[in-house]
Amino acid sequence: MVRARRFPGSFRRLISLSSVLVLVMALVVAMAVGCHRPASGTQGAPTSSGPSAPSQSPPSQSTPQGTAARPFVGSAEISLVEALPEGRGLQMLPIGDSIAVEPGKSVTVGLQPLPFHAILAPAPASDWVQKNVKVEGAKVELAPADTGTLSFTIPASTKEGTVTIALSSVVPPDGQGNTVTFTLNRKAEPRGTLEVQDGGTWRAVRPGESLRQRPLDLRVVFSSDMTAGSLQAELARRAGTFKWENPKTLLWHLDDPPAVVELDLRQGRGTNGLLVMGDLASAYTGEVPQLVAFDLIKGTTVNPTSTAPATAQATALITLPADVRTALISPDGRKLLVSAFLRSTSRAQNPPIATWVIDTQNGSRRVMPGNDASYFAYLGWADDQSVVALTYEGEVRVAVVDLGGRVLRSWKVPGDGGHLVSVSPDGRRLAVMIGDFDREDQAERLTPYELYVIDLASGQTALEAKDFVWIYSTHSEGRGRNGPAWSPDGRELAAVGDRKQGGGAYVRVADLQKRGLDGTNQAAVTEGASIPDLGHSYQYPFSWSADGRYWVIGDRIVSSRAPFETKGQLSGLGKPLWSLSPLVVRGETDDYGPIRAYQVGAGSAPFLSADLPVGWDRSGTFYGIRWPDYRFRVVWQSGL
């Protein structure tokens, strides 16, 4: 079950453009009048904070009675940011200190968006900006400067050129005249591409690739001439030998590379003085991940009389991209939907994600849409030829996507966030639990969740249960992993909630075939098992066995029918994956780590020789990913 966050942009700790401007304005208001800082002429001499105060007191003005005084303007500043894709929009990430821009002088800047700020004293009237500020070479949106700060953003550009900002009806620093002009010379920032020598030919490192050549020859090819000394300290601390082949090409030779090689390019500067866009040249060189299959049902891997867990044997199938994050096996077992992090050169805290459909017989790959888990989260298979995904296009939507990446159907998901979702066993419906955070019990930190069901063919959406369960929330949005679970026949939905005062957990069941018992057209809801000694339920994935007889609640297997007896215990916190036997496979976490297979009523829990559980196909084969070097993978930084 996958949760769409309440505010989809919060998957990355980036600062939006509006946040940058608000921060700068707050600093400006708080600053005392200070010394004027001279401009450097390039990004090479940043200032230490927001816009500087005027370098001298405004010259005395003789102002006719009833006429507003012309504002004094000293210097201005440009904030350095990098525009990064965030879903279908952009986020602005600060990449360094601001740079000063002096009237009558030019400064070299890049092609990224340029937030511009200048202090005006005294603050002009609200209509002053529209009358007296002219920008040439770029289209900008101007806002009043009646707070004493003139702020706007010059958009990103694909072409080099000059931008001039002219302010009239002002007092210049020297007191002469009434016009001030700032000149920005826009040049392309350097960018680096990591390449590998393969069979005597240089080529770009491919997404998800494992570089197994020994020795390994890499190079970073920059888009413009570099100042070699700007990267000297970084090269000195990295393994291998380096040589500048020319001002644009850095050669890198490694006889015996570690599992991951990388260069931090953040201090790199071109000969034009501009910082490198993107901060990391990285490649994975360790062991290649493999998809493996287990015949757990027909085999003899479960031995009830064994006192020590056995190790189930696996059949290796195909190799997979490095840095695999999630994987879903198709019902027929012939295709694998894989999402993997990309080792990119972005300054973003969290890396982009690529998704492929991979043939489990021959390893051929097709790229699927969506490069950001915040905005294109794959939930499961609708059938053997299409998958279900959550998307964000100004609103949360559920989509059915074919294996060519074409969106077949798309429907709005109710609510504005806090979603816990689950695809029905037949792939035709989506269960959605939505947290009503406005009604959160602040004392108990419990949030009520409504239960909806969306028909993925028609888009028909029905409220099945209001206040279905109350779930303990560690944050205002919650971080639940305990979304709704379908019965195998799709007739019922169950979910786990939390009782007040730490009174344990409980299960509630909604019968979608019975309606109107409470005077509404909602599903009939009954009480299920009660687990008084279970901790907060948000920590545990909840599941319903494939034969319908059991639930996994926390660390135990419980009968799904009264009297709800405990039938066994499991270790770990990973999502339980059921077969019809009934056999359940569970990892220590939802991430990489030890995996065990449990059979209800058996005393043995054999380890599986894999590192990431994937799931069962309809024939009863279980799949996992074996990746001994998984500790070197790219990881998500936001704690999700």
230-257: per-residue pLDDT in tens?
Answer: 999 999 999 999 999 999 999 999 999 9
Q: Are 201 and 208 in contact (CB under 8 A)?
A: no
CA–CA gap between residue 267 and residue 636 (Å, rounded): 24
Q: What is the DSSP letter of 269?
A: B
Q: Can you say whether the dihedral through the CA atoms of 626, 631, 634, 636 is positive or negative?
A: positive
Q: Strands, E, within 477-590: which ranges?
A: 485-486, 492-498, 505-515, 523-531, 543-544, 550-553, 556-559, 566-569, 577-578, 583-587
Cα 346 to the chain's mean position, in Å? 13
Q: Can you say whether the dihedral through the CA atoms of 353, 590, 587, 283 is positive or negative?
A: positive
Residue 460 host element (H or E): none
Q: What is the DSSP letter of 22?
A: H
89-138: per-residue pLDDT in tens?
Answer: 566 677 777 889 999 899 999 999 999 999 999 999 999 999 999 999 99
pLDDT for 48 equals 40
Exposed (0-12), middle (13-18) or buried (19+): which is 156, by Cβ within 10 Å? middle
What are the residues whose beta carbons fall under 8 Å from the beta carbon of 520, sequence distance 6 or more?
A: none
| β-pair partners for 118 | 76, 150
Closest CA to 581 of 264, 169, 294, 327: 294
pLDDT for 417 equals 64
Helix, strand, coil abundance in the chain, percent, nearest 5: 5, 45, 50
Alpha-helical regions (H) of 109-211: 128-132
Q: Are 398 and 429 in contact (CB under 8 A)?
A: no
Q: Strands, E, within 60-124: which ranges?
A: 76-78, 81-86, 89-94, 99-101, 106-109, 114-119
Region for residue 323 given its phi and psi (left: phi exceeds 0; alpha: psi -120 to 50; beta: otherwise): left
pLDDT for 517 equals 64
Closest CA to 556 of 545, 547, 548, 546: 545
Q: Count other C-beta atoms under 10 Å from residue 250's C-beta.
A: 25
Alpha-helical regions (H) of 119-274: 128-132, 232-236
Burial 29-54 (b: 16+ CB within 10 A, else e): eeeeeeeebebbbbbeebbebbbbbb
CA–CA gap between residue 5 and residue 415 (Å, rounded): 11
pLDDT for 53 equals 41
pLDDT along the chain (640 residues), means of 10: 36 34 36 35 45 46 55 88 63 76 92 95 94 97 94 96 96 90 96 95 94 96 97 95 98 96 91 87 94 76 39 86 94 95 68 89 88 65 94 84 91 83 95 89 88 96 94 59 90 94 89 79 92 81 93 92 92 88 86 89 79 94 95 67
Q: Are 111 and 160 in contact (CB under 8 A)?
A: yes
pLDDT for 306 equals 36
The pTM of the whole model exceeds 0.85: no
pLDDT for 588 equals 86
Longest CA pairwise span in the chain (Å): 102
Helix (H, G, I), strand (E, B) or coil at 217: strand
What are the residues whose beta carbons fall under 8 Å from the beta carbon of 502, sequence distance 6 or more?
A: none
